[in-house]
Amino acid sequence: MVGRSDGELLSVVKAFYFCPHRCPAGQAMKAFPKDYETLFMFSEHTPFSCEAEASDFKSECPPDKKVKKEDLFKFKRGRGDLHVSVVTFGLAAFFLAFFWTETGWNTRKLPDEFGLYLAHQFGLVDLEGRGMRFGRILKQSWFAPMLCVLILVPTTIWNLRASWQVHRWRKRFLQPTGIGYELEKYAAALEFVGYFIGYTVLVPILGYLVSTLALGSYLTWRLGYRTRRWGCISLLSSFAIVLLFRTFLQIKTPGNIWLYDQLPGTLRSYMLTYF
């Protein structure tokens, strides 16, 4: 918007300033605010709903901030929705692409005649052209994957379309559509995923007790709880988890642990049994 005069800006905004689903354009235009700059300060809120929460805009659909019981089922598409919808569509396309080779579909014997081949493809006749029991079709290894693909492909396409519509709407009303913020969150989550995998690798080396105490304390520190009090709480909590699951419930842990192998015989077997 830099470089445009106020008049140009106003005309651009006026041209786009209506909500196609709930507010008739005329009504929205009547309520057009004098201070149009507020339009660029929209906070993130539901597209397709004119219940703007943070702008000064007064429309024919007044904002209703009161939570209603109907809101229990309310669903809003937020930022990052389009990108995940693309991924889910990609997954569905992936499963569809491999349907022929990964479900036993293409390992079936095929007859020469095309009509017979087609009927056979749908499981209506067997290779000799005799009618097939419907139950036999249900038993085929490809039947259930076919059902899944039939559910997945249309729903992911539909979802992608709905997501795209919302994305366009957000762009039109100058709402944040960038995925940078979401990517930041996913990257932050990946850091913790790394710790989890690291912990999994450490358990056969250091044992369940030491690894859990180490991870518990480190995560507490990493998340910003760096006082001595929180350190003690995290150590005690980690120890309690080990006591509950390993000592009392005797969950399975690896039989050979490098650290325990360095201990004298009795202590080693004690540690292996209880920690």
Partner 1 sequence: MEAFLAGLNNLMDPHVLIAIALGSIGGLMIGAVPGIGPAIAIAILLPATVFLEDLVSLVLLLGVYGASMYGGAIPAILINTPGTPVNALTTYDGFALTRRGEAGRALSLAYAASFFGGCFSIIAALLALFAFGPYLRDLGALFGQRDILMAAVLGSVLLIAAHRQNMGIAAMLYGFGFLIALIGRQSTRKIDRYTFDIEYLFSGFNLIVVIVGIFALSQALNLMTGKDDDPPEARVSGGVLRGFTELLGNKLVCFMSACYGTIMGIIPGVGEFVAQFFSYSTARALSKQPARFGHGSPEGLIASETANNAVPAAAMIPLLALGVPGEALTAMMMVVFFDAGIKPGPDVFENNPDFLFSLFMALLIINGLVLLTLLVSTRYIAKMIYIPNRFLGAFIMILSFVGVYSIRNSLVDCVFAVVFGFFGFALRRLDWPLVPVVLGLVLGSIIVERLSAGAGKIKFMIDLVNRPVSGTLSAIIVLVIGYIIWSAIKNRGINPQ
Residues 156-175 binding partner 1 (CB under 8 A) are 156, 158-159, 162, 165-166
Task: Name which of residues 38 to 97 contact partner 1 (CB under 8 A).
Answer: 48, 66-69, 72-78, 80-81, 84, 87-88, 91-92, 95
Evaluated on CA atoms 100, 105, 111, 114, the torsion sign reads: negative
Q: How far is the CB of 203 from partner 1 (least distance, A)?
A: 7
Q: How far is the CB of 213 from partner 1 (least distance, A)?
A: 10
Task: Name which of residues 227 to 266 contact partner 1 (CB under 8 A).
Answer: 230, 234, 237-238, 241, 245, 249-254
Q: How far is the CB of 156 from partner 1 (least distance, A)?
A: 6
**For residue 237, which phi and psi values (nearest 5 degrees)?**
-65, -45
In the bound state with partner 1, the residue whose beta carbon lies nearer, of 8 and 102, is: 102
Q: Residue 122, interface with partner 1 (CB under 8 A)?
A: no
Q: What is the largest CA-CA distance in the chain?
A: 86
Q: Which has the closest alpha carbon to 243: 211, 214, 275?
A: 275
Q: How far is the CB of 175 from partner 1 (least distance, A)?
A: 16
Q: In terms of C-beta density within 10 A (0-12 exposed, 13-18 middle, 19 or more buried), how is residue 249 classed?
A: exposed
Distances (CA, A) of 120 to 115, 124, 127: 8, 6, 7
How many whole angstroms from its chain centre is CA 158?
Answer: 17
Task: Name which of residues 97 to 116 contact partner 1 (CB under 8 A).
Answer: 98, 102-104, 107
User: Which residue blocks in the chain are alpha helix, DSSP H?
Assistant: 6-16, 25-30, 81-97, 99-102, 114-121, 134-139, 143-172, 180-206, 208-222, 228-242, 258-261, 265-274
User: Which residue blocks in 173-256 are alpha helix, DSSP H?
Assistant: 180-206, 208-222, 228-242
Which tokens go with 235? 């150590």
Q: From the list 16, 40, 117, 195, which residue makes contact with partner 1 (rule: CB under 8 A)?
A: 195
In the bound state with partner 1, the residue whose beta carbon lies nearer, of 58 and 185, is: 185
Which string of x and - marks every residue 205-224 that binds partner 1 (by CB under 8 A)?
A: -------x--xx--xx--xx
In the bound state with partner 1, the residue whose beta carbon lies nearer, of 57 and 169, is: 169
Q: From the list 11, 106, 200, 269, which residue makes contact with partner 1 (rule: CB under 8 A)?
A: 200
Task: Name which of residues 126 to 155 contact partner 1 (CB under 8 A).
Answer: 133-136, 138-139, 141, 143-145, 147-149, 151-152, 155
Q: How far is the CB of 274 from partner 1 (least distance, A)?
A: 14
